[in-house]
Structure 1
């Protein structure tokens, strides 16, 4: 409901248009916003450029298409100084900023930090 809350119309398709696409890959490739960290096929190293609310894109399935298949919302640095995000997890049965099903940080070498590919600011 992120797009709805900030006034973006939600699109039912992956086609470019005036709104927030439904799927992560369409959000990353054709969705609105400014690219903060471009997708180079490897995890970005400049997390200092991120601001709370930025959309983070991940390639979790590691399929040959190398496209974003997961999106999260950046929260900022936690008490330990790590870059933390919130995202929906199958294992948690919904959104979590906790570490159930993988740590929710970008800089720990875990599954999500290795799969992080790009960021956009709406």
Structure 2
């Protein structure tokens, strides 16, 4: 009686499949990281737009002193923006002291 030989994958075939899986996984991770960075920047830009609208409303309402608009901290104390908004903005934005003051996003968040 002849023995039937079981056939499996060779080591080279397994390593090739593993290599392909690794390359696909690394490209997926890079794509996801880029999308997360882009989403964070879009969130920051939207927050800057909201905060700038709040500053304009306070500035046009003339219910704030000019000293309340000199920094993020003074805006929080004057209740123009919230401390949560300022914590998200700190370090990622620049305040221009035009009339009215405006935040702009700087570089990478």
> What TM-score, normalized by structure 1, do the two folds share?
0.23
Larger Rg belongs to:
2
- Greater percentage in strand: 1
- Greater percentage in helix: 2
